Amino acid sequence: MPAGRIALPHRADEEDRNAEMNPAVSTNPSEITVSREKREMHIHWQDGHESVYGFDLLRRECPCALCNDQRGKQAAAGGPGLVVMSGPILKAGDVQVTEARPVGRYAINFVWSDGHDTGIYSYTFLREACPCPACRGSR
């Protein structure tokens, strides 16, 4: 789906499980907006919280196996090392979402301007990675 609003079905069963673990935090979005102009995704959660994720953050934290493996190798080597990558080299501020689509009732997937498209960003992952000061301070 091109950038814009993404309609999401209600996920009461997962919401009920999450409420049992922490009743104050919802991993059930009520609305997701992807803005190419602002280069960000905005999520309104059903508990009233709002999260704003920049495209650079989302691309850097891609949860796919390949990206997790690359981050693991860098950490094991003691920091950033020489990584051979395919596709265009993009600097911060250049990566763009070309498509965003829901994955079932639990996640969102992006197609990035660098051709990467295998990351499945679960709503639980996104809520835990919320970059707002309140959420960062509670981690």
**Cβ–Cβ < 8 Å for 46, 26:** yes
Question: Which strand (E) or helix (H) includes residue 54?
Answer: strand 50-54
Tokens read off for 50: 């709002």
32-81 pLDDT per residue, tens: 999 999 999 999 999 999 999 999 999 999 999 999 998 888 888 776 55
77-112 pLDDT per residue, tens: 776 554 545 455 567 788 999 999 999 999 999 999
How much of the chain exceeds pLDDT 70, in percent?
Answer: 75
The domain locations on the chain are 5-137
Judge residue 31's burial from the number of C-beta atoms within 10 Å of its C-beta, 0-12 exposed, 13-18 middle, 19 or more buried. Answer: middle
pTM, 2 dp: 0.76
Whether domain 5-137 has CATH 3.30.2020.30: the reply is yes
